[in-house]
Structure formats: C-alpha cells, structure tokens
Homo-oligomer: A and B are copies of this chain.
Amino acid sequence: MDKHQRFALVAQLWNQNMPFNQLLGFEISRFDDERSEISFSWQDKLIGNPMQKILHGGVTASALDLAGGVVAAANIIANMDEVNPKTIQENISKLGTIDLRTDFLRPGRGEHFVASAHIIRSGSKVAVARMELHNELGDHIAFGTGTYMVG
C-alpha cells in the first residue's frame, strides 16, 4: 500500500464509523499529511444562538479538532515502516488531542463550511496543528491551534 492508499483506507473507515461526526454531517474530504479538510453543510440543528442563526461554538471547535486530528493521523501513517490494516490501526489508536485553542473570528454563517489543517510541529510523540474554518464565500470564521499525542 502506498501512502495515498493508506490515507483513503483510513478516511473511509473514519467517515463510516464515527458517530458524532455523522451526527453533525462532517465528512473528511481530504486526508493527507500536507493538509486535511473537513466539509459540512448548514443544518438547523447546528444552531447555537437561535436569534442570530449562527453555528454553535462547539460545532466550530469540533470541526477544527477533527481537521487537526486527521492531519496528525496522516503524519503518523505516512511515517510508518511496516504497513497493513492492523499496524495502521495500532499506530493511530495512540492519537489523542492534548489541548485545543479555538479563536472565534466572525459569526458562523453560511451554507457550506470547510475546516482545514496543517502541521506546524511534528515529532515522534507530539504534533501541533493549525486549523481554519471558512464558509463558501471565503469568510474566515475561526482559527484553531491543537496539540496532539501521536506516539
């Protein structure tokens, strides 16, 4: 399996088996060690503030956390020596968010949203990712910084 076959395998697995992401309508639309992307559409159930009709801050934090986790997972997988479904499983089972900062820049309005992430610190034990959330008009809704346990 080359790197991109491994990524496709895990993306499919995660998209089909993560209940909370499915509840929110999150889809991993790019699973790559360079950059990850999570896509989702507006749904009324994601509303935090009913007066203003904007995304709940928790939806934003969830999307950013997932985007960072995906790019961190892709980096774990890209660096593995012996690759098969079992070893991939074992290696990404160590993944966990240590801490996450979310900066809410603009009200979460829009029809379609993309959260993206890239790695700013990579290591054998800990990785740090930066994340962004934009809507379909390119409005920059939120920034995030997450520290992940990767080994």
Contact = CB atoms under 8 A, between A and B. Distances in A.
Nearest to A107: B96
Contact of A57 (B59, B62, B106): B62
Given A23-B23, A104-B96, A143-B130, A58 B47 contact: no
Query: How many copies of this chain does one complex carry?
Result: 4
A100 interface: yes
Interface of A: 17-21, 23-24, 44-52, 56-59, 61-63, 65-66, 69, 89, 93, 96-106, 120-121, 125-126, 128, 130, 140, 143, 145, 147, 149, 151
Given A103-B120, A105-B128, 9 more contacts: A57-B62, A57-B100, A58-B58, A58-B59, A97-B102, A98-B98, A98-B126, A106-B121, A126-B149
